[in-house]
Amino acid sequence: MINGRMKTRSAERKKTRILGTVKYFNQAVEGRVTDLSATGMALDLGGRVFHAADGSQVRVESQEFGILEGTVKWRRSGRLGVQFSINSNAVAQVSSYFRFFHKDAPASR
């Protein structure tokens, strides 16, 4: 929170339904990327246990965008927020995904 207000996202997020695997040391958990932007993503882990604290470095792998590295920003209710590493090529990979593969995901029920 900044001055009593919620911090807003720095990049527009798009709803997706990309299957991927999030990895942390010797853990690998499958999930679904539910939204994606040039700066980060949210994953639904479907209730699977994933032991990575906020601030942990993780890798997310998917056929659609390849490998993206980032930091866990939040965890709640079986979901995970990841902010991409500044030194990664995430912007190019995500832009490429949106240019060639993305189709708007229907609203969840």
Residue 7 lies in a domain: no
pTM metric for this prediction:
0.74
Phi, psi values for residue 94, rounded to 5° = -70, -40
Question: Is residue 106 assigned to a domain?
Answer: no
> Helix, strand, coil % (nearest 5) of the chain?
10, 45, 45
Task: Choose the most confident range, by mean pLDDT, from 11-20, 27-36, 94-103.
Answer: 27-36
Angle at 81 between CA 90 and CA 30, to 5 degrees: 85
Distance, in Å, from the CA atom of 66 to the CA atom of 62, rounded to the nearest integer, reads 5
| Angstrom distance (rounded) from CA 14 to CA 61 | 18
- In tens, the pLDDT along 68-89 reads 999 999 999 899 999 988 765 7
Q: What is the pLDDT of residue 61?
A: 95
How many domains in the chain?
1
Give tens-digit pLDDT for 27-72.
Answer: 999 999 999 988 899 999 999 989 999 999 999 999 988 899 999 9
**In this structure, is residue 4 part of a structural domain?**
no
CATH of the domain at 72: 2.40.10.220
